[in-house]
Amino acid sequence: MALALDKENYLLHKLHSLTGVVPVGYYMVQHLVLNSFTIAGPEKFNAVIGFFEGMPKHFLLVMEVCMIWIPLLFHAVYGMFIIARAKPNYFGSVYGWSRNLMYTLQRWTGVFLFFFLILHVTTTTGKKYMEGSAKVIEFDAWYDKLTSQGYIWLILYMLGVATASFHLGSGIWNFCIRWGITVSEKAQNAVQKFSIAFFVAVTLIGWAALGGFLIHGNRNHVDTTPKQVHNVQTQFVAVR
C-alpha cells in the first residue's frame, strides 16, 4: 500500500500514538523516577548510573537503540509531520473548549520537546559516548551544569520536565481515544482528569530530581570549603 506524503497514514498515526506511551512515555517516567534518587544524595544517584554502566556495553547500546532511540526518533519525526499539517482551533477562534486547548498545547509542546531533546541527548548520552566516560552524567557534572551560566540550564530543564509531562499526559488521553479505550463522553472526561493529575505528579517528580542536585550539591560545597581553607592555612604555617 502506497504511503502518501501529503496526508497522515492511519497505521502510522496509531503507531505514533502507541510509541508515545510505550516505550517513550514509560521510559520518561522511569527516567525521572530514577533521577529523583538525587534526593537521597550523590551516592544513590551515582549508584543508578553505575548500575546501567555496569551492563555489557553492547547490550546497553542495543537496548538504548531499540527501546529508546528508534521509537523516540519515529515519534518525534512523525509528530513534526502531524504538527505541520495541524490547524489550531483554540486561540483566535470561537471554539474555546478545553479539548481544543489541549489539542493546541499538545502540538506546541511537541515542537519545544523536539529541540529540547536534541539538546538534552547530545549533551548527556551523546557526550558520554564521545568521551568514553560516564563522569559527564554523574551527580557532580549535573550540579555544575545546572548552576552554571546564571541557572539558565536549571530553568530550561524545569521547563523541559513540565512540557514533557504535559505532552505525555495529554498523549495518554489522546491514545485512549485513538485506540478505542475510551468511547463514551464520561470515560473521556475521566481520562482527561487523570491526564491533568498525571501531568502535575510527574512534573513534581522531575522538579524534585532537579532540586536534589541543588540541595546536596550545595551541602557538598559548604562541607568541603572549611576543610580546604584549613588545609591551606596549615600549609602556610608549615612553610613559614
- pLDDT of 94 reads 53
- Encode pLDDT of 71-113 as tens digits: 999 999 999 999 998 776 666 555 556 778 888 899 999 999 9
- pLDDT of 102 reads 86
- pLDDT of 51 reads 97
Does residue 16 contact residue 82 with C-beta atoms inside 8 Å? yes
- pLDDT of 195 reads 96
| Secondary structure (3-state) at 147 | helix
Establish whether the linkage from the previous residue to 88 is cis, with ω within 30° of 0: no
Tell which wins on pLDDT, 240 or 192.
192
Q: Which of 125, 34, 128, 24 is nearest to 67 (CA)?
A: 24
- pLDDT of 87 reads 72
- pLDDT of 85 reads 85
Q: To the nearest whole number, what is the mean pLDDT of the chain?
A: 88
Measured CA to CA, the distance from residue 85 to residue 144 in angstroms comes to: 41
Q: Is the pLDDT of residue 201 over 50?
A: yes
Long-range contacts from 14-17, C-beta under 8 angstroms, 24+ separation: 14/178, 14/179, 15/74, 16/74, 16/75, 16/78, 16/79, 16/82, 17/171, 17/174, 17/175, 17/178, 17/179
Q: Is the pLDDT of residue 221 over 60?
A: no
The arithmetic mean of pLDDT across residues 38-66, rounded, is 96
CATH class (in words) of the domain with range 10-239:
mainly alpha
- pLDDT of 101 reads 84
- pLDDT of 1 reads 32
Does residue 171 contact residue 113 with C-beta atoms inside 8 Å? no
